[in-house]
Amino acid sequence: MRISLNKYKIFSNAKINIGLNVFQKEDDSYHNIDSIMVPIDLSDEMDITFYSELGDLKIECSDKNIPTDERNILYKTYKIFFEESKKEKEKISIFLKKNIPSEAGLGGGSSNAGFF
């Protein structure tokens, strides 16, 4: 059995809010927001490898303070994609090089998920 690989290098930008209105807290403790975001030149780098076989997601990160298990937003994105598409999970590996400071309000995690 031959396994094919598709490798991609993705740069996911940070973003800043130039306008933010937070309103209406929901029952799940999240808030509805109205915001204007602008991408900036700072970005994280993701090396993503898609394998042509069933499997799971493996995440490695340059920042050892970032969880690489089911708490990671990339893992949550992966899980929801396969649940919603009703496809069998495919083997994917991601190496995330963090350049955007974590928890700095620059949207690094959500940008990583969106680009993934």
Give me the half-sphere count of Cα atoms (radius 13 Å) on the Cβ side of residue 5: 8
Element housing 74 (H / E): helix 73-85
User: pLDDT tens for residues 47-104?
Assistant: 999 999 999 999 999 999 999 999 999 999 999 999 999 999 999 999 999 999 998 8
- Cβ pair 111, 15 in contact under 8 A: yes
Sheet with 57-61, side-by-side order of all strands = 5-25, 31-54, 90-97, 57-61
- 20 found inside a domain: no
Q: What is the CATH number of the domain that holds 75?
A: 3.30.230.10
Question: Is position 70 within any domain?
Answer: yes
In which region does residue 2 sit, left (phi positive, over 0), alpha (psi from -120 to 50) or beta (all else)? beta
Is residue 77 situated within a structural domain?
yes
Q: What is the pTM of this model?
A: 0.83
Number of domains in the chain: 1
Task: Domain of residue 68: give its range.
Answer: 4-13+44-115
Answer whether residue 88 is part of any domain.
yes
Q: Is residue 54 one of the residues assigned to a domain?
A: yes
Contact 110, 73 (CB under 8 A): yes
100 belongs to a structural domain: yes
The answer to whether residue 93 sits within a structural domain is: yes
In a domain, 23, yes or no: no
Cα separation, 65 vs 63, in Å, equals 5
Query: In this predicted model, what pLDDT tens digit does every residue of 28-37 receive, in sequence order?
Result: 888 888 889 8
